[in-house]
Structure 1
Amino acid sequence: MTNSLTAILPTVFDSLFYFAQSDSFWNKIAIAFGTEYDLAEAEEIRTQWQNREFSQLPEIEIISDAILGDFRGGYAANSNQIYLADSFLKLLLLRQY
């Protein structure tokens, strides 16, 4: 994990915590995943985030914008890895300070 990523993780974890607490959690999950997701697993993830338990998150790798194109991030199920565009990380760092 890069130092830049390590620097913003507390902010990311706070965002996930507040998202899990929000009344709009299920509406936003439906926007992201539609109706075809495992409700029990989603409830388990929500409970973990409400308890500030983030150890289940996949590894995060920062990659070049050129690889992601117009996207800020992505997830690869086959490697269980989250990819974030380096410009997105820079934006998050600017917002933090």
Structure 2
Amino acid sequence: MHRLMPFPVVLSLALQGCMHEIWNAGDLADWVRQQAVKEGCKSDSIELEDWYRKTESGNVWHGTCRNGASETMAFTVNVDPVWKPSES
């Protein structure tokens, strides 16, 4: 006889497949670099600020890089979709 899994367990497993696995600041920095590449940055040229900043549009990490034409460009990545700041 097959037992059905409880709905919360099924929902939890389904959501885990959709979420980014970010467990610490290093993972978050890697994710921000990936987003910068999607915005047109060359991966080996990315320079991030030390940490993200709280702005009116959310928690945003700033950085600079070179694009495909080797021009320096600034970028911002909102980290709110994948990171919840700890309340200290």
Larger Rg: 2
* Greater percentage in helix: 1
Tell me which interval the TM-score lies in, with the shorter structure as reference length.
Answer: 0.3 to 0.5
* Greater percentage in strand: 2
* TM-score normalised by the chain length of structure 1: 0.32
* TM-score normalised by the chain length of structure 2: 0.34
Q: Which of 1 and 2 has higher RCO (CA within 8 Å, sep 6+)? A: 1
